[in-house]
Amino acid sequence: MNDIKQIEIIPFNPKYAKDFADLNVAWLEKYFVVEPHDVELLERCEETIINKGGYIFFAKIGSAIAGTFSLIKMQEGIYELGKMAVSPEFQGKKIGQQLMTFCIDFAKKQHWNKLVLYSNTKLENAIYIYKKYGFVEIELEKDSPYLRSNIKMEFAL
């Protein structure tokens, strides 16, 4: 088993676009369903996230992509933390927490105002991690981009 210290967080590369989609479809199908908005973001991630001022990062261990997350530009200085996923074979190794630390540090270096995320309280481990890192629950708008969302959180930078 790879030592977790060998984790490398790398920026988007088109050769990993399929990993981005596959990691996210796996957890979406396990807990929910893949919604049209997910399909748009996952199947055309370069067009819908990167080219619109967003970012995608990957946790790489050896040659394997172990996890991912995206920062989707909502407006100037406000980004949605979305599409965070860790491969089942790498879960329980604190990769999600390393991705979260990297995400917050990256956002601070960009001098953004805040990060926003949409989730579901059914994902207890994820909600726990978000709160641990300082995200607080805010009101969920009626026209949330995801049908599965029943919680919205933000992190003021």
pLDDT in tens, 144-153: 999 999 999 9
List the one residue out of 20, 101, 94, 2 whose CA is nearest residue 57: 20
The count of residues in the chain is: 157
> Does the structure show a pLDDT above 70 at 137?
yes
- Residue 95's pLDDT is 95
pLDDT (tens digit, 9 = 90+) per residue, 49-106?
999 999 999 999 999 999 999 999 999 999 999 999 999 999 999 999 999 999 999 9
* Residue 8: partners with Cβ closer than 8 Å, 6 or more residues away: 59, 60, 61
Longest dimension (CA), the chain: 45
Q: Which two tokens stand for residue 138?
A: 């805010």
Instruction: Look at residue 2 and tell me whether its pLDDT is greater than 90.
Output: no
Q: Which domains does the chain show, CATH number per domain? A: 4-156 (3.40.630.30)
**Closest by CA position to 115, among listed 153, 144, 67, 69:** 153
The separation between CA 16 and the C-alpha centre of its own chain, rounded to angstroms, equals 15
How far apart CA 151 and CA 18 sit, in angstroms, is 28
Q: What global pTM score does this model have?
A: 0.94
Q: Which tens digit of pLDDT belongs to each residue from 17-36?
A: 999 999 999 999 999 999 99
Q: Is 100 exposed, middle or buried (0-12, 13-18, 19+ CB in 10 A)?
A: buried
In sequence order, the 6+-apart residues with CB closer than 8 A to the CB of 157 are 104, 107, 108, 111, 112, 113, 114, 115
